[in-house]
Structure 1
Amino acid sequence: MGAGAVVATADKQNYADLIDKSRPWWQNRRLLALNGWIVLLLITSSTNGYDGSMMNGLQSLPQWVLYFHNPSGGMLGLLNAIQNIGCLCAYPFSPYVTDGLGRRTAILIGATIMLIATAIQTASNSVNMFIGARFLIGFGLTFAAAAAPLLVTEIAYPSQRGQATSMYNTLWYFGSIVAAWTTFGTFTIPSSWAWRIPSLLQGLPSLIQIFLIWFVPESPRWLVRKGRETQALRTLAYYHANGNEQDPLVEYEFEEIKTAIKLDQEVSANVGWLSLVKTPGNRRRMRIILALAFFSQWSGNGLVSYYLKRVCDSVGITDPTTQLLINGILNIFNFFVAVVAGLLCDKAGRRKLFIISTVGMLIFWTVQTICFSLYAQHGNPAVGRAVIGFIFVYYLFYDLAFTPLIVSYSVEILPYSIRAKGFVVFNFAVSASVVFNQCVFRFPGSLLPHADHDVLTHAVGQVREPDRTQCSWLEVLRAQLLVLVYVCWLAFEAVFVFIFVIETKNRTLEETAALFDGAEQAEQIAQHAAEVAKASEDDEKAGSIEVVNAKSEDSI
């Protein structure tokens, strides 16, 4: 941790002082344009969020349930998991496309595949066709999702990088909100278009990206790595300094990028997958990245993300309209909390937010578990509603860190040479943990044995009260054990985060990487940054002297 002081000092003396504070960023046309392109990249995450919420909503739509003959058990698990299985199949290829062809090209390829897949999904006339389309959506999403956050963090204005990258995963909830309220709105359509319309809208973000991705700037770090330094400098200057290539901030960024990439190349001329674990610094990175990936899906949130209907059924809330409303309101709540947390990440700090998040989840998941157990034993409707209430409180703490920070933190602690491959490992771990949740660690059948049938009878106007006397004691025990396991796991998460997560706020990407690689690299980067800053100061002084001399000559 000795490197931290060196980096922090250099950061304070050189980097922060070069930021233009003369006017707000929203009064700078080129920064506005840059942030507009960043929003275009962020909607990649919305496509993923749309899918999860759409599948939750479709399970509450009688039209979808009837059309596909009430999928349940393993088939329902496959329908939910197949998108992530598609992601897993694409991961071996995505880093080579991202590093070889560029960030923008990878996003274009992914968006094109997803657009074709959503067309197939919308036209599905069998469950197998629907599953195949969802596989393709996941396959295409991998290319776009592997490149978009990297491009965001590599082109963002330095003082806005943390917030911009944190917004990537936060926009998951934006897509989720659109899907939740779309399925709620199409609920009354008495035909298969009740589920085909939500399926069709899933392709809208990809369509927008295909038309506009050509105007997004390519990563300056990728350009430097490919030997296109002139273009990289021009990109940095255009968006970060209104085209001034001699701006001190641009010079600092450009020289720091070149130095960091040169150091990476000297350490490993041929960067392969083994580079992720070759050095102690990289092993520390991968330990944190893999842990955060699994924590993000194994903290209990998976039960709600894809099985909210079954959770509602299990606490006596079986009306499809009510379930769709809960889904829609929960996503709006999550989005609001995640946006606020993402904007505060540089003020509050990553480490503090992770600690508060895990401790809060542990406390309120425990309370939720107690309420769930009481409802299973006594069937008190008030206790059942309390379970839903504590789900909201639990998500408040989940959204403080595990929505906005897991992507931004993983990307910023990786040096350029292994950033694409390391982020693919992160995404692979997320997808693998989701597939495990959906296919193996599924929420058990409803504690109300007629809940699935109620969805079908609701469509034809028949209503039947659930008979709790027929409830399987084995299902009750399984559900209680399932939620209890997460209590123990959340306690482990809190301890891990406290010990291993390192604070990275207010540092450049290169300076953050130096935290893990020791004092030597930190000193090299800091020393080089100091030299650039000093040279800029000398140029300014020389310019001032020339101006004074010129004025003197004019007066003479």
Structure 2
Amino acid sequence: MYTIGNVYVIAAVAVVGGALFGFDISSMSAIISTKAYLCYFNQGPQYLDTDGQCSGPTANVQGGITASMPGGSWLGALVSGYISDMLGRKKAIQVGSVIWCIGSIIVCASQNIPMLIVGRIINGFSVGICSAQVPVYITEIAPPSKRGRLVGCQQWAITWGILIMFYISYGCSYINGTAAFRVPWGLQMLPAMFLFGAMLFLPESPRWLARKDRWEEAVQVLALVHAKGDPNSPFVHKEMAEIREVVEFERANSDVTYFELLKPNMINRTHIGVFCQIWSQLTGMNVMMYYITYIFTMAGLGSNVLLPSSIQFIINVVMTIPALLFVDRWGRRPTMLVGAFLMMVWLFINAGLLATYGKVPYKNQFPSAAESISITGAPAKAVIACTYLFVASYAPTWGPVSWIYPPELYPLRVRGKAVALSTSANWIFNFALAYFVPPAFANIRWKVYIVFGVFCFAMFVHVLFLFPETSQKPLEEVEEIFDDSTPGSIRFLGTPAWKTHVDTHARRMERGELDAEDKFGHEASHDERSPARVDEQVPKAE
């Protein structure tokens, strides 16, 4: 039935949906400072300096152009929960890939700013679907000990998408005329076409199949992915037993709505998932990605801004690798705490440098009003260095963990819509910040860095007291963390976040070291140790 069972291959294909977001980021950041873009979408009075540049869109309009993609992503993320629950995680991702191709055609053919914005909104709708449901799909199909690494590949794919499209856009910047931006905007359809075709050969989420009473298929998928086709594997048996227990419990309830996520037993984890995504935006990282050419132009790099800007994209790709290798061992909490602290340091240093050594540029020194500070010499090099260090701090911490963490928090019944809600929070703040930054640089200049530095301090405190550890815990066992009826728990919160730790039990279970004992060291029941076929113990589809 399914031809691909290697969990790494499955993740590698699925996270191409994340690469679409990366393609969009760099296709905009690498193009907004080019002559072809500035002159074709020019709004201000045209002037000629030594490079013959046009002024391009106004700061407010450029903010709107950039923000249109995350605006569409917000809506796409919300809708994705319904699509995913009805059609399945796999088909939801395929729907997103088709929508991406439609948006890319409109963007590529844009004749004016309104047409460009419409195309980017449609592209964003696609990214919203894929960014919400790819982590859900991988979370539900991956073994607990590899879950963080595999879901983190979503962020790695984003960084690769940014890097690849940036260099495509950089190469195309030497083309005369509108082809300089139409070619890269057209080429970004290719990964979506690959994603749609490759997903045909991947299995569906076993947890979604079980929820739809397709038990035999669920067993086949678990056996294929986790036990090389052996349905009698102890790990497959344990996973199916837990899935069956959860599904049977949830069957007595009606279909979930978004309002259920606000009930007392769910509100805490809803707020954690939503703020995990909000904080990942309030670090300012995506702002750095969208407007890096503005920052480096202000630092005196002039017409040579694109290649130095690309260094941070390389750093982003390379520094994500440690998280993929070690995030399951490090845990989610320490990773987020270290990242927030380091990013806060680099942001405050940049603010101090720009406030002390920055000057108001002379008239027409820079093509955009958002490029409102001029800094040169050693302080300018320090600003560039801190920008690189900021990226190196985000890439192995909040970058991957913001995608890994939310899908782990929720029970199966609400996971699709809950992750859609948390991802929509990511996109609405992405939208707000993408729109906010150009006029913010134009008006409050270096204080923009102070704003994001304060956000990083706030997220450090928030994670310290309220974000529990979920690393290596089976999804069904994460429920216990939020149970406020257990001894030592806090009402509405469950186990205090600072008392939770990485659970190495799952890794031992996968290796077969605990197949005869439960996680408390007690002897397992006869049913749990039984070598009987799993498909004889699960309900048959009617």
Distance in 2 of aligned mates of 1:487 and 1:278: 33
1:395 is aligned to 391
**Change beyond 3 A, Cα 1:127–1:221:** same
Change (3 A) 1:100 1:187: same
Instruction: Kindly indicate whether residue 145 of structure 2 is the aligned counterpart of residue 159 of structure 1.
Output: yes
Relative to structure 1, is the Cα distance of residues 278 and 390 closer, same or farther in structure 2, using a 3 angstrom cutoff? Answer: same
TM-score of the aligned structures, taking structure 2 as reference length: 0.82
1:549 corresponds in structure 2 to: none
1:227 is matched with which residue: 200, 205, 213? 213
User: Does residue 1:418 correspond to 2:414, yes or no?
Assistant: yes
Q: Deviations over 1:124-183 (max 9, x none)?
A: 222222221111111122222222211111112343222101111232111000111111
User: Given that residues 54 and 198 in structure 1 are in contact (C-alpha distance below 8 angstroms), is that contact kept between their aligned partners in structure 2?
Assistant: yes
Aligned AA (1:283): I
Aligned partner (choices 377, 380, 397) of residue 381 of structure 1: 377
What is the correspondence of 1:240-319 to structure 2 with a 5 Å cutoff? 240-266=226-252, 268-280=253-265, 282-319=266-303
Is 1:332 the counterpart of 2:317? The answer is no
Is 2:12 the counterpart of 1:39?
yes
Counterparts in 2 of 1:68-467, with a 5 A limit? 68-69=41-42, 70-266=56-252, 268-280=253-265, 282-319=266-303, 322-377=304-359, 379-442=375-438, 444=440
Structure with the higher fraction of residues in helix conformation: 1
Q: Which amino acid aligns with 1:62?
A: K
Structure 1 residue 262: deviation in Å?
A: 2.5
The size of the alignment, in residue pairs, is 476
Amino acid corresponding to residue 420 of structure 2 in structure 1: V
Change (3 A) 1:33 1:479: same
1:335 partner SS = helix
Percent identical residues:
25
State the structure with more CA Rg. 1
Q: Is the contact between residue 256 and residue 529 of structure 1 (CA under 8 Å) also seen in structure 2?
A: no
**Alpha-carbon contact 1:114-1:141 (below 8 Å) kept:** yes
**1:51 alignment counterpart:** 24
Deviations, residues 512-537 of structure 1 (Å, cap 9, x unaligned)? 23211346799xxx799978675454
Residues 1:161 and 1:533: Cα distance change in structure 2 (over 3 Å): farther
C-alpha distance 530-239 of structure 1, shift in aligned 2 (>3 A): farther
CA distance in 2, matches of 1:203, 1:530: 54
Q: Describe the shift of the 1:349–1:337 C-alpha distance in structure 2 as closer, same or farther (beyond 3 A).
A: same
One-letter code aligned to 1:486: F
Residue correspondence of structure 1 range 476-555 to structure 2 within 5 A:
478-518=444-484, 534-535=526-527, 537=529, 539=531
**Alignment CA distance shift 1:337-1:358 (3 Å):** same
Query: What CA deviation, in whole Å up to 9, does each residue of 1:285-343 have, x standing for no partner?
Result: 12211221211111232431221122122222222xx2211232111101111121132
Output the amino acid matched with 1:308: I
Letter in 2 for 1:113: I
Against the structure 1 CA distance between its residues 316 and 94, is the aligned structure 2 distance closer, same or farther, given a 3 Å change threshold?
Answer: same
Give the Cα–Cα distance (whole angstroms) in 1 for the partners of residues 520 and 164 of structure 2: 47
Check the 8 A contact 1:303/1:443 in 2, yes or no.
no
Change (3 A) 1:432 1:67: same
Aligned to 2:40: 67
**C-alpha distance in 2 between matches for 1:517 and 1:325:** 51
Q: Which amino acid aligns with 1:257?
A: I
Query: In structure 1, how many angstroms separate the alpha carbons of the residues matched to 2:241 and 2:91?
Result: 26
How many Å apart are 1:492 and its aligned residue?
1.4
Distance in 2 (CA, whole Å) between partners of 1:342 and 1:517 is 30
Q: Is there any run of 5+ residues in structure 2 with no aligned partner, and where?
A: 43-55, 360-373, 487-493, 496-517, 533-542
Distance 1:224 1:529 in 2: 29
The change in CA–CA distance for 1:81 and 1:510 in structure 2 (over 3 A counts) is: same
Counterpart CA distance in 2 for 1:528 and 1:323 is 58
Question: Which residue type is aligned with residue 67 of structure 1?
Answer: Y
- Structure 1: runs of 5 or more not aligned: 1-28, 447-474, 541-556
The question of whether the paired residues in 1 share the 8 Å contact of 2:172 and 2:183 is answered with yes
CA contact (8 A) 1:49 1:175 kept: yes
**Structure 2 letter corresponding to 1:294:** I
